[in-house]
């Protein structure tokens, strides 16, 4: 099962980090270009990223958006202005990606957005996660994956990843984008929840199952997805956006492949 540990109140301020802000802007540009009608959002968090996507002019033309997250963020989503404008066209369900077949509309979405979720999923379940993303879409639909990828499968590399985010938070304070209390909520002191404690847990292998980009692309290929584009974040060399297209007609969730997922 995926790990809920990443979501805590300090993440309300993650948009002040240059790399996170750039990642959101790049996703919005891709979504606007594709102009989907029916979208599944996997791992919305508190909704700041989705609110950015909906700020695009094409956001007003979506017929339906279904949002899932491990945490119950229904109230937080309701407080985001662009999300609120969707009214009944947006629905939320507290649900794990690995159980996405429970969605009534599973297999009918023409666009799936999955942001900073896959690295929370244990290696033995990652193939299943990619299959879920692939089968959630209709034939010809797109899957956008936004995440962190390492150079190798090495838990020690997680420390450098977190060091980069913490440095960005310090820059945000210097530039007036974060107040000191917001910095403390996001970064912490290592004992309370925050980037510093997450860094220590990641180094110990207790969280963040990062993997190389090419490994994830291969998992997607095995799930039946075709790679359309790879976009590199100019602010952080380990952040990427992967755009895939689904060209198979899987049908509904009852036709999901059985058996244990293959592990790389």
Nearest by Cα to 239 from 183, 168, 136: 168
Has residue 118 been placed in a domain?
yes
Same domain, 148 and 134: yes
Same domain, 198 and 88: no
Query: Where in the sequence is the domain holding 137, given as residue range(s)?
Result: 15-152+210-248
Residue in the structure block whose two tokens are 């301020």: 13
Q: Please count the other Cβ atoms lying within 10 Å of the Cβ belonging to residue 205.
A: 11
* Residue-level pLDDT at 249: 65
* Residue-level pLDDT at 53: 87
Q: Count how many residues are written for the chain.
A: 264
Residue in the structure block whose two tokens are 């429970």: 102
Same domain, 46 and 165: no
Nearest by Cα to 6 from 203, 253, 193, 136: 193
Same domain, 161 and 225: no
Same domain, 82 and 143: yes
Same domain, 217 and 133: yes
Same domain, 197 and 239: no
* Residue-level pLDDT at 156: 79
Residue in the structure block whose two tokens are 């895939």: 244
What CATH number does the domain containing 138 carry? Answer: 3.40.50.150
Has residue 253 been placed in a domain?
no
- Whether residue 194 contacts residue 187, with contact meaning beta carbons closer than 8 Å, is answered with yes
Residues 6+ apart with CB under 8 A from 168: 17, 18, 19, 20, 235, 236
* Residue-level pLDDT at 62: 77
pTM: 0.91
SS (H, E, C) the chain: CCCCCCCCHHHHHHHHCHHHHHHHHHHHHHHHHHCCCEEEEECCCCCHHHHHHHCCHHHHHCCEEEEEECCCCHHHHHCCHHHHCCHHHEEEEECCHHHHHHCCCCCCEEEEEEECCHHHCCHHHHHHHHHHHHHHEEEEEEEEEEEECECCCCCCHHHHHHHHHHHHHHHHHHCCCCCHHHHHHHHCCCCCCCHHHHHHHHHCCCCCCCCEHHHHHHHHHHCCEEEEEEEECCCCCCEEEEEEEECCCCCCHHHCCCCCCCCC
Same domain, 166 and 119: no
Same domain, 94 and 182: no
pLDDT mean for each 10 residues of the chain (264 residues): 68 96 95 92 95 79 90 94 91 97 96 96 96 96 97 83 97 98 97 94 91 96 97 96 87 43 32
Same domain, 73 and 148: yes
* Residue-level pLDDT at 4: 46
Same domain, 148 and 31: yes
- Whether residue 92 contacts residue 85, with contact meaning beta carbons closer than 8 Å, is answered with no
Has residue 235 been placed in a domain?
yes
Note the helical H segments in 204-261: 213-222
Same domain, 112 and 19: yes
First to last CA, the chain: 18
Q: How many domains does the chain have?
A: 2
């Amino acid at each position: 099962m995926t790990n809920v540990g990443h979501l805590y109140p300090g993440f309300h301020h993650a948009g002040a980090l240059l790399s996170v802000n750039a990642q959101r802007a790049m996703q919005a540009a891709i979504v606007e270009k594709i102009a989907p009608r029916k979208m599944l959002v996997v791992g919305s968090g508190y909704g700041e990223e989705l609110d950015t996507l909906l700020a695009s002019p094409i956001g007003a033309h979506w017929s339906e958006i279904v949002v899932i997250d491990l945490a119950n963020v229904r109230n937080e989503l309701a407080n985001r202005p662009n999300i609120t404008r969707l009214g009944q066209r947006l629905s939320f369900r507290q649900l794990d990606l690995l159980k996405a077949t429970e969605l009534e509309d599973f297999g009918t979405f023409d666009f799936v957005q999955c942001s900073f979720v896959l690295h929370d999923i244990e290696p033995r379940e990652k193939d299943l996660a990619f299959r879920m993303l692939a089968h959630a879409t209709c034939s010809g639909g797109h899957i956008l994956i936004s995440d962190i990828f390492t150079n190798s499968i090495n838990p020690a590399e997680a420390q450098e990843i977190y060091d980069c985010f913490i440095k960005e938070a310090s820059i945000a304070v210097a530039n007036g984008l974060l107040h000191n209390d917001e910095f403390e909520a996001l970064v912490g002191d290592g004992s309370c929840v925050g980037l510093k404690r997450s860094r220590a847990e990641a180094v110990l292998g207790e969280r963040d199952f990062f993997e190389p980009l090419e490994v994830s692309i291969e998992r997607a290929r095995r799930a039946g997805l075709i790679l359309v584009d790879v976009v590199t974040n100019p602010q952080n060399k380990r952040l990427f956006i992967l755009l895939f297209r689904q060209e198979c007609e899987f049908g509904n969730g009852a036709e999901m492949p059985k058996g244990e997922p293959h592990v790389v």
